[in-house]
Amino acid sequence: MSGMGGRKASGRKTSGDTTGGEDRSPAALDAPYDGSTEARYPAPTAEEDATPAADLDLTGDAENLFDDEALLDDEEAEVGGEVAGGLIETVIEDGTPTGRLDAVLAARLVEALGPEAPSRARLQALVKAGKVTVDGRIVHESSRKIGAGARIAVELPPPEPATPEPEAIPLDVVYEDEALIVIDKPAGLVVHPAAGHARGTLVNALLHHCGDDLSGIGGVRRPGIVHRLDKDTSGLLVVAKTDRAHRGLAAQFADHGRTGALERAYIALVWGAPRAGGGTIDAPLARSTANRQRRAVARSGGKEAVTHYTVLERFGSGDEPIASLIECRLETGRTHQIRVHMAHIGHPLVGDEEYGAGFRTKVNRLPEPAHSLAAAFGRQALHAAVLAFEHPVTGEILEFESDLPDDLAALVEAFRAIP
């Protein structure tokens, strides 16, 4: 990675056969795609991975692999709007406020889902429609009294997706051709419209920027999102402009670089000093039972999640450095994976209010200017710095690097100056 300051991204491309002799003639490239990842990215050997491409928890037939929604569980993917359809259950414990069914259920869903919880009026309509059960029996009266020990289940229907509108939002375009576009996303930009973020997203910006260059994904003129970054994570993203590019890129991201050219690396500033040199965190992740908007290391079950980290630099003197700059590379792509894993080993990201709130007091003990910069930082210190992949049409290997954005670069320099 070139340097740690400034706000720039660079890229390069190389040619060459990386698929072990795959036919890349025009006829082969234009042939209908059969929905199989093995066609382009053969399964790894048993020594490499016994469960290839299982990370995304894809269900249904093969074409689901190329649906945007099938790829939502990507590293650092924002969770706004993830409260889609599904069955939610809750038990009223002793000491918990009781009362009318609609009031009790509304309060419990706010605790579980936060601002994405349905309104009390919406819950009353669901009760009337027979979508709510109490102790296994359908209830049609919102006024029914609920006492301690009651088990309530509600079936939330999936939200109706809105059609994104083009918006003239400035983009930092690193690379673009007829098939795809690579963006250096700033912190603060949501990737895809969702509940609470219907406008002002990367998708809205791409619809305006690409215009008629979008040939359509699944018959609809829209950009093909194959991976995401959290709203407050900056860095490199590739987006497909055609169905063909979408299929090829989706297969690579599903494979997570096990057998192909896909490469992604993240730079993070974390509290404390992880093990010298680096290490591997192998801890499955699941939704937090305390807050469904968050993720947590699962005590049992959960989805496989593996993060490899390398310590690049330590800040502060003495036996206990104040913070460290690390590089993370992922074997899997779970929502908030880096943030949860680093917090799990006791080294949350600087600025991470979700997973590192317990380290907030450390900011007050920092000398200037690190104290002022850290106190005002306002987001997790995480940047997608490296992105490489095989072009889904030409077969060229495209490689891109992005320096730290100005705010994160200034914060790192301030920590570097700590005596």
φ, ψ for residue 202, nearest 5 deg: -60, -40
* Dist CA 212 CA 241 (whole Å): 10
Q: Residue 195 corresponds to which tokens in the numbers above?
A: 């509940």
Q: Which residues lie closer than 8 Å to 211 by C-beta, 6 or more apart?
A: 166
Placement of tokens 């929502």 in the chain = 335
Calculate Rg over the CA atoms of the chain: 23
Q: How many CB atoms lie within 10 A of CB 97?
A: 11
**Strand pairing category for 151-156 and 224-225:** unpaired
* Dist CA 65 CA 402 (whole Å): 28
- Pick the closest to residue 259 from 50, 19, 34 (CA basis): 19
DSSP 233-279: -EEEEEEESBHHHHHHHHHHHHHTTSSSS-EEEEEEEEES-PSTTEE
* Dist CA 366 CA 375 (whole Å): 10
The answer to whether residue 49 is catalytic is: no
Secondary structure of residue 383 in the 3-state scheme: strand
Q: How many CB atoms lie within 10 A of CB 376?
A: 11
Exposure string of 284-293, with b = 16+ CB inside 10 Å and e = fewer, is bbbbbeeebb
Identified catalytic residue from 68, 73, 230, 407: 230
Q: Running DSSP on this structure, what letter comes out for residue 107?
A: H
* Dist CA 401 CA 11 (whole Å): 6
Please list the residues that pair with 315 across neighbouring strands: 323
Q: Tell me the catalytic residues.
A: 230
